[in-house]
């Protein structure tokens, strides 16, 4: 039997399976100072985005050498010092496939919302306004969607967008991908200049900084739509607000932020912004699949 700490919640069915396997689960969120003490007492820890496991947190766990497994219930692992954990003999894993469809659907949802002014119409109608003439939208069919990054989620997004009649182009650090002839590979600068919608699908590189900042906004079409369901930090939020105010960006869908929970009220309250609180993978189906992957990872690594 192993002791497992679940800090940010997990699928109830999967938690039940782990208990039936004989594991002892503690499902509780701890603030950093308290977590430094708690990590010493568990064989495994399962986290989502709210819990951070930097080097100093891993060092605390190493004092007792009890922690053997860290699982990120989701895709991005930028809240974990992955290289350091692995260097110290801790298995660090995530669930990369489980939430792809859910995140892709949210990205497409933000595109529809912006194209038809659904986000702001919800606000103004609740205030008693009837702005029918102001909300002339556009159809997304026939428009060009540029995907920055071409991993699992981007491929799901491409498939959905293509089915909706969009032309899909993409850029990727490793170049064009075989087997995706329905889409067109192009360098980042060309994509920025040609896309009507741009959707980001890559991790945040703390060393390189934002992928999209003032320079990249200048390369884009006037009236472009930008979607970020990837990671906070890949878009410079101040530069984004400037681009919205100038009209360079007609609208943006934002699910992730440089700081979470975000304090950027100016961005969240902007009339051209469709905003959600990091819910890309928050569907019943995705959480069930994530739970299944967690069970498999636990079974493989600690029995």
For residues 240 and 216, is the Cβ–Cβ distance under 8 A?
no
Which is catalytic among the residues 231, 270, 289, 293? 231
CATH fit for domain 3-96+283-302, picks 3.40.50.720, 3.40.50.300, 3.30.360.10, 3.40.50.2300: 3.40.50.720
Is the fold of 3-96+283-302 the same as that of 100-275?
yes
For the domain 100-275, what is the CATH code?
A: 3.40.50.720
Active site residue 293: no
Active site residue 27: no
**Where exactly are the structural domains of the chain?**
3-96+283-302, 100-275
Break the chain down into helix, strand, coil percent, rounded to 5: 40, 20, 45
CA distance 158 to 148: 11
Which is catalytic among the residues 56, 63, 259, 260? 259
Active site residue 231: yes
For each of the chain's 303 residues, which pLDDT tens digit applies? 899 999 999 999 999 999 999 999 999 999 999 999 999 999 999 999 899 999 999 999 999 999 999 999 998 898 999 999 999 999 999 998 899 999 999 999 999 999 999 999 999 999 999 999 999 999 999 999 999 999 999 999 999 999 999 999 999 999 999 999 999 999 999 999 999 999 999 999 888 999 999 999 999 999 999 999 999 999 999 999 999 999 999 999 999 999 999 999 999 999 999 999 999 999 999 999 999 999 999 999 997
Half-sphere exposure of 287 (CA within 13 A, CB side): 14
CA distance 165 to 225: 17
Which is catalytic among the residues 117, 201, 278, 289? 278
């Amino acid at each position: 039997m192993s002791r497992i700490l679940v800090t940010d919640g997990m699928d109830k069915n999967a938690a039940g399976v782990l208990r039936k396997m004989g594991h002892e689960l503690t499902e509780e969120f701890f603030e950093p100072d308290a977590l430094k003490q708690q990590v010493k007492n568990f064989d495994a820890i399962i986290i989502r985005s709210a819990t951070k496991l930097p080097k100093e947190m891993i060092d605390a766990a190493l004092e007792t050498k009890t922690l053997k497994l860290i699982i990120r219930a989701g895709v991005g692992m930028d809240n974990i010092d992955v290289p350091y954990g692995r260097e110290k003999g801790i298995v660090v894993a995530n669930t990369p496939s489980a939430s792809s469809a859910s995140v892709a659907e949210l990205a497409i949802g933000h595109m529809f919302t912006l194209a038809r002014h659904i986000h702001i119409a919800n606000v103004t109608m609740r205030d008693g306004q009837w702005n029918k003439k102001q909300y002339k939208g556009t159809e997304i069919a026939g428009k060009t969607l540029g995907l920055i990054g071409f991993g699992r989620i981007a491929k799901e997004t491409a498939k959905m967008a293509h089915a909706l009649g969009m032309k899909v182009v993409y850029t990727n650090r490793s170049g064009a991908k075989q087997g995706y002839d329905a889409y067109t590979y192009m360098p980042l600068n060309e994509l920025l200049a040609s896309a009507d919608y741009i959707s980001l699908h890559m991790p945040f590189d703390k060393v390189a900084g934002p992928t999209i900042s003032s320079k990249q906004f200048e390369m884009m079409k006037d009236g472009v739509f930008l979607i970020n369901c990837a990671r906070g930090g890949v878009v410079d939020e101040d530069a984004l607000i400037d681009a919205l105010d100038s009209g360079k960006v007609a609208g943006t869908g934002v699910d992730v932020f440089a700081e979470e929970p975000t304090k950027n009220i100016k961005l969240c309250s902007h009339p051209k912004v469709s905003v959600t609180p990091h819910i890309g993978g928050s569907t019943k189906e995705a959480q069930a699949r994530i739970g299944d992957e967690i069970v498999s990872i636990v079974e493989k690594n600690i029995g």
